[in-house]
Structure 1
Amino acid sequence: MTDAARGHSTATLYEASASRAHAVDPSLHAAWTGARVAGPAFTVQGIGGDNLALHRAVATAPAGSVLVADLQGARHGHWGEILAVAAQQRGILGLVVDGGVRDTAEQAELGFPLFARHVTVVGTGKDHTGHFGVPVRVGDVVVRPGDLVVGDADGVVVVPAEAVDETLDRADARVTAEQRALQAIRTGVTTLEYYGLPAC
């Protein structure tokens, strides 16, 4: 599958976005080391402490999407191994949730990318159906359906759908420029010299 972010990191996308990308609150981070995800958002508005909306989202979201769920930052394990397996069977790429998750070791073994505010064993109810395809607030950022969501070791970045192509093109150019800088630095040029920075 083609990487929706062209392989670019969150840092590169954020720096290349001309201030159009939004960095999610760093308290919301990868739940296991090495997790990485990039794809269009399928938004979920639920209720903290209840995970019925996530069960419904797994059955509803199109393959190739990233679930982005607002669960009010609740300290409950809204998502675990069973939902991860179900999501993988449906072709869902990963989950970004403003709330808690559990079974992180099992999901690391599955390779299911997971970004959350908390890791906790506290259980949930299954009473609130939730809403899909609406703007949601996750980690202080408003995410709309179809926005590009990218998560890696440095955090989560959201690029508005209308700015994706421009941002990716700028990220391509930035990586090329960084490779030139690295090549020069490896020959002994200092960063002060390369960037024309004052020495004192």
Structure 2
Amino acid sequence: MNQAAGSLKTADLYDVHEEKLQICYPGFRHYGGSRMFHGPIATLKCFEDNSMVREELDQPGQGRVLVVDGGGSLRCAMLGDILAKKAVDNGWAGVLVNGCIRDAAEIGGMSLGVMALATNPRKSVKKGVGETGVEVNFSGVNFRSGEWLYADEDGIVVLADPAA
């Protein structure tokens, strides 16, 4: 990885890789204790059912970022403190949720990057419905497993090949 990608700052990445970056529209808020995080993407598409979020975070994270496309639903939380703790324990760098989280105060004390649209105390259903490893599209970005996500106070960017 070149020095620009290693610096992690999204603004610096933009300056070096403008033509190769995808930039998320503003609207996501930081909730985790790590306000700057990055890693290879693992994708998950599920709507108001966080069963597969648990399954994914039970796996070794190896520094990856789980991108959860919850369809932008604000009706329930897709991540709470118990699942966030699993992410920390299993080596995930972060979680991006196109939807809500809960237990924000507890998650804010964890060394994990967590970004979401909002909070909601309501838990999701658990029916085991969803898809992993599929391309998900939201906020102006196509998220693909294996590409790299970088997040900081300036926003979220995705770079297909950080070594380029």
Aligned to 1:191: none
Shift of 1:72: 0.4
Larger Rg: 1
Q: Deviations over 1:56-107 (max 9, x none)?
A: 1112354211101111011121101100111111111110111111112211
Is 2:33–2:111's contact at 8 Å kept on the other side of the alignment? no
Structure-2 change in CA distance of 1:9 and 1:87 (3 Å)? same
Partners in 2 of 1:51 and 1:122 — Cα distance? 12
Q: Which amino acid aligns with 1:31?
A: Y
Partners in 1 of 2:65 and 2:162 — Cα distance? 15
Shift of 1:50: 1.3
Count of aligned pairs: 161
Q: Which has the higher contact order (CA 8 A, sep 6+)?
A: 2
Aligned to 1:142: 142
Q: Which amino acid aligns with 2:65?
A: V
Structure-2 change in CA distance of 1:97 and 1:156 (3 Å)? same
Superposed, 1:156-167 pairs within 5 Å as: 156-160=156-160, 163-166=161-164
Partners in 1 of 2:84 and 2:45 — Cα distance? 18
Shift of 1:134: 1.3
Unaligned runs of 5+ in 1: 167-200
Superposed, 1:92-107 pairs within 5 Å as: 92-107=92-107
> SS of the residue aligned with 1:78?
strand
Partners in 2 of 1:41 and 1:98 — Cα distance? 14
> SS of the residue aligned with 2:98?
strand
Q: Structure 1 vs Structure 2: percent identity of aligned residues? A: 28
> SS of the residue aligned with 1:127?
coil
Q: Which amino acid aligns with 1:98?
A: N
Structure-2 change in CA distance of 1:125 and 1:42 (3 Å)? same
Q: Which amino acid aligns with 2:71?
A: Q
Tell me if 1:31 matches 2:31: yes
Aligned to 2:63: 64
Aligned to 1:8: 8
After superposing the two structures, state which structure 1 stretch, 28-37 or 143-152, moved more. 28-37
Structure-2 change in CA distance of 1:29 and 1:11 (3 Å)? farther
Q: Which amino acid aligns with 1:114?
A: V
TM-score, length-normalised on structure 1? Answer: 0.74
Structure-2 change in CA distance of 1:149 and 1:4 (3 Å)? farther
Aligned to 2:88: 88
Is 2:45–2:134's contact at 8 Å kept on the other side of the alignment? yes
Is 2:10–2:150's contact at 8 Å kept on the other side of the alignment? yes
Partners in 1 of 2:133 and 2:53 — Cα distance? 13
Shift of 1:38: 0.5
Unaligned runs of 5+ in 2: none
Aligned to 1:108: 108
Is 1:4–1:39's contact at 8 Å kept on the other side of the alignment? no
Regions of 4+ moved over 4 Å: none
